[in-house]
Structure 1
């Protein structure tokens, strides 16, 4: 009886764990759109800056902005 119960419970537990962990992604892993200055104007980039905090976000040495006009700096913690 113990083996029979274990054969049913163990796969069910594995399915529940897999479904739960599938939704356990962090929001900070999602890419955000940002803009950097280039010689020809601006370039749209994917960044990991969530625009919260007080420090300017950088992509390499280039500061990242929220708008195409490059006036609203993107922030990070």
Structure 2
């Protein structure tokens, strides 16, 4: 009796769990910190990069005309994005 119950309930529970978890996920935008060198103040400043900025692409990611970098140094990776 016990094994018949488990043979019926366990697969049904696994299917319900899989379906429930499939709908429980959502897309999140990951905010990336970016850095730029402010020539007026002569210091590095941090901002949040716009969506789509990363290491690859054909259009530079800019903030108020300044190139954004992955780290607060000119040795950091210049952030770029693909133009739409």
Q: Do the structures match in fold with TM over 0.5?
A: yes
Following TM superposition, by how much is the alpha carbon of 1:55 offset from its aligned partner in structure 2, in angstroms? 1.7
Pair 1:24 & 2:53 matched: no
Runs (5+) with no aligned partner, structure 2:
1-15
TM-score, scaled to structure 2: 0.53
Q: Number of paired residues?
A: 60
Runs (5+) with no aligned partner, structure 1:
1-11
For 1:25 and 1:50, locate their aligned partners in 2 and report how far apart those are by CA, in whole Å: 18
Q: CA RMSD in A?
A: 2.4
Aligned to 1:34: 34
Task: Please state which structure has a larger fraction of its residues in strand.
Answer: 1
- Higher radius of gyration, 1 or 2: 2
Task: Please state which structure has a larger fraction of its residues in helix.
Answer: 1
Following TM superposition, by how much is the alpha carbon of 1:52 offset from its aligned partner in structure 2, in angstroms? 2.4
